[in-house]
Amino acid sequence: MTAATSNVAKYFDDMSYGPAPEADTEARAWLARHASGFGHFINGAFVPSASGKSFDTFEPATGKGLARLSIGDKADVDNAVACARKAQAQWAKLPGHARARHLYALARMIQRHARLISVVEALDNGKPIRETRDIDVPLAARHFYHHAGWAQIQDTEFADHVPVGVVGQIIPWNFPFLMLAWKLAPALALGNAVVLKPAEFTSLTALLFAELASAAGLPAGLINIVTGEGETGALLVDHPDVDKIAFTGSTDVGRIIRERTAGSGKSLTLELGGKSPFIVFDDADLDGAVEGVVDAIWFNQGQVCCAGSRILVQEGVSALFHERLKRRMQTLRVGQPLDKCIDMGAIVAPVQLSRIESLVKKGIAEGAVLHQAQIDLPKGGSFYPPTLLSGVHPTSAVATEEIFGPVAVSMTFRTPEEAIQLANHTRYGLAASVWSETIGLALNVAAKLAAGVVWVNATNLFDAAVGFGGKRESGFGREGGREGCYEYLKPRAWIGRKARTVAPVPQVKSTAGDFALPMIDRTAKLFIGGKQARPDGNYSRPVVSPKGKLIGEVGEGNRKDIRNAVVAAHAASGWASATAHNRAQILYYIAENLSGRADAFADRIGAMTGVSASAAKAEVEASITRLFTYGAWADKYEGVIHQPPLRGVALAMPEAQGVVGVVCPPEAPLLGFISLVAPLIATGNRVVAVPSEPHPLAATDFYSILETSDVPAGVVNIVTGPAEELAKTLATHNDVDALWAFGTPELSTMVEKLSAGNLKRTFVDHGKATDWLDRTAAEGALYLRRAVDIKNIWIPYGE
Amino acid sequence: MEAEIAHRRDTADHAGSITLSNHASLRNPGMPLDLSWVMDTRVNLSATERRVATLPGRRTVKKDAQAAWLLKAVTCIDLTTLNSDDTPERVKRLCAKAMNPVRPDILDALGMGSRAITTGAICVYHRYVGTAVEALGDSGIPVAAVSTGFPAGLSPHHLKVKEIEASVADGAKEIDIVITREHVLTGNWAALYDEMVEYRAACGDAHVKAILGTGDLKTLRNVAKASLVCMMAGADFIKTSTGKEGVNATLAVTLTMLRAIRAYEERTGIRIGYKPAGGISAAKDVLNYQFLMKEELGRAWLEPDLFRIGASSLLADIERQLEHHVTGAYSALNRHPIG
């Protein structure tokens, strides 16, 4: 008692906190049971890796070994995929209610073992037990509950969709367990089976989860965990029997995955990096905003893809804000992950620590002012202090590169416009945080930020019902909510589409004219920025009937024409903020004007394609109907209001993706064009369309319809010419946000591969023919969903 | 008086010079009413709530540290009886408890037997100030009197001033005034400032705590603005509530008031004390208040010259926790002398 008593007096005098360690007995016991090494978890049991190769995983806070893990090679991945394939067939046949029961059981199981999972996660990742216990694990359980619900109502809510099949999932080390939940819950709920590769630094909670799930009665083969490093992930990405890859990680790796899966037909979700702005206006609750920074960049040691790492503060309050921020930094505590009295734990691995150190050095060299909290760091592990780089210039690497550590950079702005400009001036577009007590200002800025998630007067809030995901090079696809479900489904109407057959373009048979009164010559031009334009190269290409008769010539568009069209499309950005009513009116008006010239279009279609008069007429009528459909949707394709667990709402708003390239299918020269362009412009996108290569005249005839229908200049641009070449220019264009390309399998592959540059959203058909007259396959939500990104704006209430 | 107040409001020349009293901290000389500062005040409710909701996960104390922190809390308690059935004997009993708040054998076991552990003050109505002063003798424990028509604060103004003067005359070293909530609810900051200046003047050398009645003010922005105005007018402490409002001290209100205190120090260099009152009855609750004090304001605000806790039943729970710490067995209320 003597030692203890003196202790009390000491604490009474200095009022320090003292140690408050969470016990790790159970976690260590679990690790001890697997002391001989973990196998992969395949088909409901741990199996040794085929090669017998293994690697060790370490505790970031101490550098001590934690466990031995198997390295998955081809045989292991093959085995896992085969088992998943087998299980998936039966799983998808189960009624939704049966799957809901399993998901529910997994949610309950997580809650029953919450502390064990939390402690293992903290040991393995180095993050504070507070975060695993209070955030990661409860959110994971919530994810399974939420998706149990989707399984239950899948047959009514997603009646026109079927499961994707076998899904390969690759998750990062920053939220190992939460990302596992984000990936597994929707995949399983909607009838898929999974092969998951956890990050090599942090595989343990995935293995623990698989073990517990099996014990909770989940059928074998639905969750297969293959551990290993990048090579193992690559095997999964390349596997021919995997139907989808869902990846969360760095933008660089995401880009590689996009390239490697190009043309494979695999569906893809990429959740990548960010450099998310944290905007503080002069009418913000500054103390609240300072605390927001703590939650933004000193949460999980800043190893958060959506971390508010780029502080933008209005010049007038900058000095005060920085003073208060620095003061706050000084009270942060960095310590052992299992200490219940800390704000930050360890960086995940020495390699990450040195990356952070070198980036900060670089930032200082480039003129940033360094401020680090003068606080004690534990010895021995990978620790880094809370860091602020202020006065960062936009040219500095730290202003644009994701540091992925506890390092915020800051700069000032003068006006809301400048704040938006600075915020959006990045390749990324994952998240943003806006701090202002003025509702008009905060919501206006939120609406204008290029980000998948915006938090108003808050940061890093998550919920299973609210979709999460980025724009631009932060990736595509959403996790959570209804939109997240679609990532694990495919349209029933597209099953069984056959490979497209395209008749070869006949040779032109030259025929001399006669002495009858000739038709007045008409020159079909390109249509750029609302004006008819001659092609840059000033060459033309012939348009030939099936019988080889020359029926016209169109401009031979080239890369410069595409460039000009993209510029014009960007200049028409006002279209996205035009009222939905206005967009609807214009779509109806286009239909009206097309109807007035229906016969001429039918004749043209007939002449170009050789279809019967009735078939040509049917195509025109279907085009008119389709325009009406999207006129109808223009003011009805709306967002939803989520009610996440906070006093407030999250607005899920569909937003135009921006400038979208459209490479039209060779067939159905008018209807194919309308079917792709109309949903895009209905939702506020601006389009650069490459019409059917063999039959472009329906589209060039169409620009006079556009001219008479009040379509603002630049909203629809038409560039005729060689489809594949023009598609290539669009795919590599870094100012094109999305690309829809219908045609050959080679076109799809090329478009997907080259779009990796700026990670534009792609929509391709892999050479499968769409029946454009079939409304279930060729119009409606299937297209509208691909024309927008959902932005979730979190708005807490309260005074 | 009116003229003098107007003068104070309009010029930087504030009366009270900085003097030491029986408290360790400096008096707050106040400053002219700065309305633009008051009007610039922004408080985001959700952000405030998130901070206080996550703090218990970020800070905790265990074992010896916890015992020490709880013992420190004892020294900050304004042991209070403010009931309509109070009597002199009841007040004397409370004073005895204030002088010996923790059983000596427990203090010995904690190695704290040599420290003079008392509560921070005794807090009573004016009627019992004399009784308490006499009962506390030379213990050094100050007597605080609630005043100015506590708890509603709606008595005639001149009587409120007289009440303060009477309590000071009876030996109260601290006066807990209640503000006129109407002034806050109607945005009449000048009126709030003026009454506070007069209360402060009437207190003389006695420290003045301004009770905001935060449960009546409803919004955190009101709380923040009222805090600022009272500090500008010379309050030495700002205090949440009378204990009689529907909602008393909360962590969100506390955070808001602490940030106002910090902002005041940021501009003036003057440290203002804080007193949450009402609703803090469990040891684990008071620890969260202490964490907030330390995190938001710093170590200095854990001592009784800058931190008081208005409570009546908290002490009993702390005593049980301390005995549990010493013996390892859960304690019972009847093992500790009643207060």
SS3 (DSSP) at B190: helix
Q: Sorting pLDDT into bands at 50, 70 and 90, what band is A234?
A: very high
Distance from the Cα of A288 to chain B's closest Cα (Å) equals 5
**Taking Cα atoms as reference points, which of A202, A184, A181 lies closest to residue A111?**
A181
Angle between the N-to-C axes of helices A580-596 and A598-609, in degrees from 0 to 180, rounded to the nearest 10: 70
Residues in chain A with CB shorter than 8 Å from the CB of B50 are: 291, 295, 458
CA atoms within 13 A on the CB side of A324: 24
User: What average pLDDT does this structure show over B62-74?
Assistant: 97
Q: b vs e for A279-297, b when ≥16 Cβ sit within 10 Å of the residue's Cβ?
A: bbbbbbbbbbbbbbbbbbb
Quick check: B105 contacting A, CB < 8 Å? no
Cα distances from A378 to residues A60, A384, A403, B61, in angstroms, run 12, 10, 22, 19
Query: What is the chain B residue with the closest CA to A330?
Result: B295
Distance from CA of A345 to the nearest CA of B (A): 12
The three-class DSSP label of residue A503 is coil
Shortest CB distance from A457 goes to which of B46, B51, B221?
B46
* Chain B stretch 124-163, residues whose beta carbon is closer than 8 A to a beta carbon of chain A: none
Which residues 199-258 of B have a C-beta within 8 angstroms of A? 219-221
Interchain contact A330–B (C-beta under 8 A): no
The per-residue pLDDT for B19 is: 34
Distances (CA, A) of A310 to A327, A335, A417, A443, A448: 19, 25, 17, 20, 17
| Interchain CB contact of A134 with B (< 8 Å) | yes
What would the two tokens of residue B208 be?
Answer: 């003045």
> What pLDDT was estimated at residue A93?
98
Indicate whether this model's pTM tops 0.90: yes
| Amino acid identity for residue A407 in this structure | V
Q: What percent of chain A has pLDDT over 90?
A: 96
Share of chain A above pLDDT 70, in %: 99
Q: How confident is the model at residue B12 (pLDDT cuts 50, 70, 90)?
A: very low
The residue type at A41: F
Q: With an 8 Å Cβ cutoff, is B62 touching chain A?
A: yes
Rounded to whole angstroms, how far apart are CA atoms A742 and A770? 9
**Which residue does chain B place closest to A439, by CA atoms?**
B44
Residues of A designated as active site: 271, 305
Q: At B158, which helix (H) or strand (E)?
A: helix B157-169
A130 close contact with B: CB closer than 8 A: yes
SS (H, E, C) A284-306: CCHHHHHHHHHHHHCCHHHCCCC
pLDDT at A601: 98
Q: Tell me the per-residue pLDDT of A329-352, one tens digit each, with 9 for 90 and over.
A: 999 999 999 999 999 999 999 999
Average of pLDDT values for A403-408? 98
Which is catalytic among the residues B78, B160, B170, B176? B176
* Chain centroid offset of residue B14 CA: 24
The pLDDT of residue A509: 85
Q: Is A3 on the interface with B (CB under 8 A)?
A: no
Angle at which helix A439-448 crosses helix A416-424, to 10 degrees, equals: 30
Kindly report the nearest CA distance between residue A138 and chain B, in angstroms.
14
C-alpha–C-alpha distance, residues A413 and A280, integer Å: 9
B239 is a catalytic site residue: yes
The answer, for A293 touching chain B at a CB cutoff of 8 Å, is: no
A6 has a pLDDT exceeding 80: no
Please say if the pLDDT value at position B67 is more than 80. yes
Q: Which of A316, A109, A60 is nearest to A214 (CA)?
A: A109
Q: Are B61 and B73 in contact (CB under 8 A)?
A: no
B58 CB neighbours in chain A (<8 A) are: 130, 333, 341-343
A464: buried, middle or exposed (CB in 10 Å: 19+, 13-18, 0-12)? buried
| A9/B299 CB distance under 8 A | no
User: Which residue of chain B is at minimal alpha-carbon distance from A796?
Assistant: B46
What is the DSSP pairing of strand B121-124 with strand B77-80?
parallel
Does the CA dihedral A284-A287-A290-A291 come out positive or negative?
A: negative
Return the SS3 of A715: coil
Shortest CA gap B105–chain A (Å): 12
Give the gap in angstroms from C-alpha B204 to the nearest C-alpha of chain A. 32
With contact defined as beta carbons under 8 Å apart, do A384 and A408 qualify?
Answer: no
Contacts of A20 in chain B (CB under 8 A): 60-62, 65
Rounded Cα distance between A352 and A404, Å, is 8
Decide if A282 touches B, using CB distance below 8 A: no
Cα A565 from chain centre: 26
pLDDT in tens, B235-262: 999 999 999 999 999 999 999 999 999 9
> Closest partner residue to B60 among A10, A340, A796, by Cβ?
A340
| A196 DSSP β-pair partners | A169, A225
Residue whose tokens read 């992930």? A233
For A344, the closest chain B residue by CA position comes to B58
A vs B, Cβ pairs < 8 A, gives 124
CA-based nearest residue to A456, from A798, A789, A793: A793
Q: Considering only CB atoms, which chain A residues are within 8 Å of B48?
A: 285, 288
Of A130, A168, A182, A121, whose CA–CA distance to A21 is shortest?
A130
Shortest distance, CA A417 to any CA of chain B (angstroms): 22
Does B18 have pLDDT greater than 70? no
Mean pLDDT for the stretch of residues A750-771? 97
B309-319: pLDDT as tens digits: 999 899 999 99
pLDDT recorded at residue A513:
77
Q: Which of residues 445-474 of A touch B (CB under 8 A)?
A: 457-458
Domains of chain A: 22-248 (3.40.605.10), 277-469 (3.40.309.10), 524-639+654-788 (3.40.605.10)
Across residues B13-20, what is the average pLDDT? 35
The DSSP letter of residue A572 is T
For residue A344, which residues of chain B lie inside 8 Å, CB to CB? none
Per-residue pLDDT at A755 exceeds 80: yes
Secondary structure (DSSP) of A76-91: HHHHHHHHHHHHHHHH
pLDDT surpasses 80 at A772 = yes
Asked if A152 and A96 count as a contact pair (C-beta separation under 8 A), the reply is yes
pLDDT at B21: 38
pLDDT of A727 over the 70 cut: yes
- pLDDT at residue B11 greater than cutoff 90: no
Collapsing DSSP states into helix, strand and coil, what is residue A51? coil
Contact call for residues A466 and A644 (beta carbons, < 8 A): yes
Task: Using alpha carbons, select from A651, A638, A658, A637 the residue that is nearest to residue A759.
Answer: A658
Catalytic residue among B170, B236, B275, B317: B275
- What's the average model confidence in pLDDT over A158-186? 98
Distance, in Å, from the CA atom of A779 to the CA atom of A35, rounded to the nearest integer, reads: 56
B24 has pLDDT over 80: no
- Specify the pLDDT at position A345: 98
**Helix-then-strand count for chain A, H and E:** 29, 31
Q: How confident is the model at residue A514 (pLDDT cuts 50, 70, 90)?
A: confident
Residue A2 has pLDDT above 60, yes or no: no
Q: Which helix (H) or strand (E) holds A57?
A: strand A54-58
Nearest Cβ partner for B302 among A9, A15, A295: A15
Give the model's pLDDT for residue A522: 86
The minimum CA-CA distance between A656 and chain B, rounded to whole Å, is: 30
Contact B46 A648 (CB under 8 A): yes
pLDDT by residue (tens digit) across A643-655? 999 999 999 999 9
> Best mutation site among B39, B43, B64, B70 for testing chain A: the one with the most A CBs within 10 Å?
B64
Q: Is the pLDDT of residue B9 over 80?
A: no
Q: How confident is the model at residue B25 (pLDDT cuts 50, 70, 90)?
A: low
Are the Cβ atoms of A285 and B44 closer than 8 angstroms?
yes
Rounded Cα–Cα distance for residues A776 and A773 (Å): 9
User: Which parts of A148-187 are beta strand (E)?
Assistant: 161-163, 166-170
Q: Determine which of B40, B46, B284 to mutate to test the interface with A (most A C-beta atoms within 10 Å).
A: B46
d(CA A173, CA A58): 13
Q: How many residues does chain B have?
A: 339
A679: pLDDT strictly greater than 70: yes
Give me the domains of chain B, ranges plus CATH numbers. Answer: 2-327 (3.20.20.70)
Q: What is the average per-residue pLDDT within B205-226?
A: 98
Average predicted confidence (pLDDT) for chain A: 97
Separation in Å, CA of A115 to nearest CA in chain B:
14
Which amino acid would we find at residue A226? Answer: V
DSSP label of A132: I
Contact check, Cβ <8 Å, A6/B111: yes
